[in-house]
Structure 1
Amino acid sequence: MCRGLAFLPAVCLERAKDLKTLFRSFIHRADSQKPEKLSVPTSEESMKLRESFENLLANKHGLAAFRTFLMSEFSEENIAFYLACEDYKSTKSPSKLVAKANKIYEEFIRTDAPREVNIDHETKAITKKNLERPTVSSFCLAQNKIFTLMEKDCYPRFLRSAAYQEMAGCLTSKVTK
């Protein structure tokens, strides 16, 4: 005889809910970590990718290659967070703003979030406070910290990586043929 979930202690129900969320995040992470098929930029595009991190982010080929590189280093959450914030800033509807803000916070900011980004305690606290009344700039501080981290740490490593060197090598061999 099935008596339903009402007979389980509240602690068990809460733990089951936590486990369900955790499993969902594993599935989401596994799906999001499938490498994207890399397309090759033109030689002109490739030269711009080396000029600045902003150029890399603005180029679909460069962004795809950078994201794949971050996946190989198990730090893809940084670019995912950055892009989620960019999408968030373009949201017009106040009700969607609140929903997106909560989703971003739960996925990337809160302690033990499934894809928690590495930001300091003060930035995390300010961001959480900003979510009491979400605006398009609620995540700006955290997004800027992650941008700087990627620009100063990940981007130079990407430019030295075998993946980027191979991509750049493909371009120079195409140009010299």
Structure 2
Amino acid sequence: MSAADEILDVVDEDDRVVGRAPRGEVYTAGMRHRCVFVEVRDAEGRLFVHRRTATKLAFPSLYDMFVGGVVGAGESYDDAALREAEEELGVTGLPRPEYLFKFLYEHDAGYGWWSAVYQVRCELPVRPQAEEVAWHDFLPADEVERRLPEWEWVPDGLAAYERLKAYRSAG
């Protein structure tokens, strides 16, 4: 099954399931769905940053400071966060990511998706999926901040990153 054929829950503005459709159709029609964003830090507190492959359905070849992806039909946000983090990092036995908050991301094209933000510490050696990740590294927070205006970032990840900084400064 290709990524475009994966079945997703379609949700309303209150994050209630209103239907199901293949991912390709959800993206093409701009249907609201669910995603998870997992901030991964290593033992030294550095942030996992990567560049997406050119073959990704959404935001190919852009940089991201989160691992994650869509929540499958019938899957919980928590289960999707762990699944996506382990898949993208190429690890097993990762601690369950900690849920922080959820927001409705609205894309410039006029559609959006519910986005649950998590954090996790990964002290395992990472082997990111070659089909998902073209480049990766663990970067200190100040370097990530320096790179924000220099690199082209996925817009939803950038929105989640800004909300996460605000969440932490309010906490």
Fold shared by both chains (TM-score > 0.5)? no
Answer 1 or 2: which has greater strand percent. 2
Q: Which has the higher contact order (CA 8 A, sep 6+)?
A: 2
Pick the TM interval, shorter chain: under 0.3
TM-score (normalizing by structure 1): 0.24
Larger radius of gyration: 1
